[in-house]
Amino acid sequence: MATPTSSTTTQKSSDKPAAQSGTFRIGGDLPIYRLGFGAMRITGLGIWGEPQDHDEVIRVLRRTIELGINFIDTADSYGPEVSERLIAEALYPYPEGLVIATKAGFDRTGPNQWVMNGHPEHLRAACEGSLRRLRVDCIDLYQLHRIDPKFPAEDQLGVFKDLQTQGKIRYLGLSEVTVKQIEHARGIVPIVSVQNKYSLADRTYEEVLDYCERENIAFIPWNPINAGKLEALGAKLNQVAARHGISTAQLALTWLLWRSPVMLPIPGTSRVAHLEENVAAANVKIDESEFADLNQAA
């Protein structure tokens, strides 16, 4: 287990609350604050279509920068295409030091419908689309949303390798994978990040997190709060949260930052007030005994 580091990034921690989460260097090169922003929820219901409140979403994205967040995670399938376009609309030209990660590997056929598509030509075209929508020449971190069993992993990752050689991708990542899959992928291309479902209430991928920590690979937990399952942790969670005057969601984020130095939580929202609440979790100080109690409850 680890506490957040105190390394310096391109922004001063004194006026950037997200800086309290500590720092991590993606690929050993790109410095970011460890508490980022996941841009899935800025689209419409079912992660489909335009947001219900476009102006509020633009305010959310701009507020992330004001709070010091310099890592934003999105995907071409969010909307589809809507999330990437809104990020560019709100933030382009991008501030110095902002790292934007996106993903490919899904087709969308309707609200809450996700169909894997790892066809090499689809992945190649998806990258071109993301470059265009984000208005960049090179994607900082490009992630394979899923390794599609319908196609050889070598072919899917081979496309990413080609795109990296062409200068269209800086670093490569994976999503929802096992340790075995990560090791296989690393034999084909360098992998600097893994994005798996993980939270205080759902630690299915504990082995993957431990592997990433040993190898200094960024671990990006999606659904990091997992509010629907927090209640199952019982009274201990509520007691610790009440003691510090915070919500159980904030406590869940604080726990993630404590759990590992390679952990990069990306809570998402479409409301400024909720964003500010999430970022405030970076400044919460919980002692070791309380974290041990939370581990036991989980």
Residues marked active site are found at 78
H or E element, residue 108: strand 106-110
Phi and psi based region of residue 22 (left: phi greater than 0; alpha: psi -120 to 50; beta: remaining): left
Q: Please give the C-alpha separations between residue 147 and each of 51, 72, 106, 140, in angstroms, as whole numbers.
A: 29, 22, 10, 20
- The angle subtended at Cα 15 by Cα 247 and Cα 242, nearest 5°, is 15
φ and ψ at residue 110, rounded to 5 degrees: 165, 175
CA 46, chain centre distance (Å): 19
CB 44 within 8 A of CB 82: yes
Q: Cα–Cα distances in Å, from 122 out to 84, 86, 151, 231?
A: 17, 22, 12, 40
DSSP code at position 135? T
Q: Which tokens go with 265?
A: 């939580």
- Residue 195's H or E segment, with its range, is strand 193-195
Of 26, 156, 130, 149, residue with least CA distance to 78: 130
Q: Residues near 291 by Cβ (< 8 Å), separated by ≥ 6? A: 1, 255, 258
